[in-house]
Amino acid sequence: MGSVPGEMLAVYASAIDPDDPLRGLELGERPDPEPRDDWTTVTVRAAALNHHDLWSLRGVGLSEDKLPMILGCDAAGVDEDGAEVVVHAVVTSDSWRGDDTLDPRRSLLSERYPGTLAQRVMVPKRNVLPKPPELSFEHAACLPTAWLTAYRMLFTRGGVVPGMTVLVQGAAGGVATALTVLGSAAGARVWVTSRSQAKRDGALALGAEQAFESGARLPERVDAVMETVGKATWGHSIRSLKPGGTLVVSGATSGDAPPAELTRVFFLQLSVVGSTMGTRDELERLIRFCLERDIRPTVHRTMPLAEARDGFRELLEGDVVGKIVFTN
């Protein structure tokens, strides 16, 4: 597949369905990216799957008028000059200066511009970073979304420093595994929760100091909580914090309707802090940190892009530990 001139194999959304996201998932030929000034075409060697791709198929962050839309935020590949690169997924407006994630007009690849689950993706030249040879394409492709989000949650938004105790809600997810590995590598005491014993054991192997059942009472209160689960764990997150503690939230996988627990928030002077993706500079620092500490992202499974439907189904079923990566 992908052999017709001017076309390439791609995984794209052809319809939106909030209840059955896989209904609109298509694998087939799409037109090659049109060249644009100051953008570069990256030949994708590896692209990682994110929960974001399921949200897109449900219509969160992607509207009907943008269809068909190639999915995917994460990629590592080779640019037009033959350089091995990692793609930063946050596309800002040309005139924006400052923190990439705060541009009101910023979008992630696959929201306004075609995404990375394809043989080729076009991105602004400033959105490619050198891929160090020590990192495989598969590992590098895991960094720009889940791992970058975890990096910003911990160190930029959460102010995590060595010796702090940090609770990570969920153990097996892409962001959760990154939080566990990065937090413990940075000298924090990382505690995790998970619904499954196997996943709790997995988190201990990744560096967590203790692992608890979701909702369990903790031996003591923590300095910071990292939240991506939302409704199912929000109350537990608030109750687990020390006075003055910080809750960093970047996702709401189980839904967005928790009681806000306002009395605890003001009485214990808690900080509730939002976090989204990360900047190009943070991605650069994340890559350096991974090299310095010999960290490699946890990969659940690598499969050819042509088998992407299986990967999406597995992520939807929730039995994934770390990242699913597609290769070309």
Interface with ligand NAP (CB under 6 A): 50-52, 55, 145-146, 149, 170-176, 194-195, 199, 214, 228-229, 232-233, 250-254, 276-277, 315, 318, 320
CB 140 within 8 A of CB 165: no
* Cβ nearer to ligand NAP, comparing 10 with 176: 176
* Cβ nearer to ligand NAP, comparing 32 with 227: 227
Q: Can you tell me the distance from the alpha carbon of 11 to that of 77, in angstroms, rounded to the nearest whole number?
A: 17
* Cβ nearer to ligand NAP, comparing 43 with 254: 254
* Cβ nearer to ligand NAP, comparing 51 with 120: 51
* Cβ nearer to ligand NAP, comparing 85 with 175: 175
Q: What is the distance, to the nearest Å, from the Cα of residue 303 to the centroid of all Cα atoms in its chain?
A: 19
Q: At its nearest, how many Å lie between ligand NAP and the CB of residue 226?
A: 10
What region, left, alpha or beta, does residue 159 occupy, with left being phi > 0 and alpha being psi -120 to 50 degrees? left
Q: Which residues contact 187 (CB under 8 A, 6 or more apart)?
A: 161, 162, 163
Q: At its nearest, how many Å lie between ligand NAP and the CB of residue 250?
A: 4
Q: Can you tell me the distance from the alpha carbon of 314 to that of 98, in angstroms, rounded to the nearest whole number?
A: 38
* Cβ nearer to ligand NAP, comparing 39 with 234: 234
Q: Which residues contact 264 (CB under 8 A, 6 or more apart)?
A: 238, 239, 270
Q: At its nearest, how many Å lie between ligand NAP and the CB of residue 56?
A: 10
Q: At its nearest, how many Å lie between ligand NAP and the CB of residue 81?
A: 29
Q: At its nearest, how many Å lie between ligand NAP and the CB of residue 108?
A: 8
Strand order in the sheet with 271-274: 210-213, 189-194, 165-169, 222-227, 241-249, 271-274
Q: What is the amino acid identity at position 171?
A: A
Q: At its nearest, how many Å lie between ligand NAP and the CB of residue 207?
A: 15
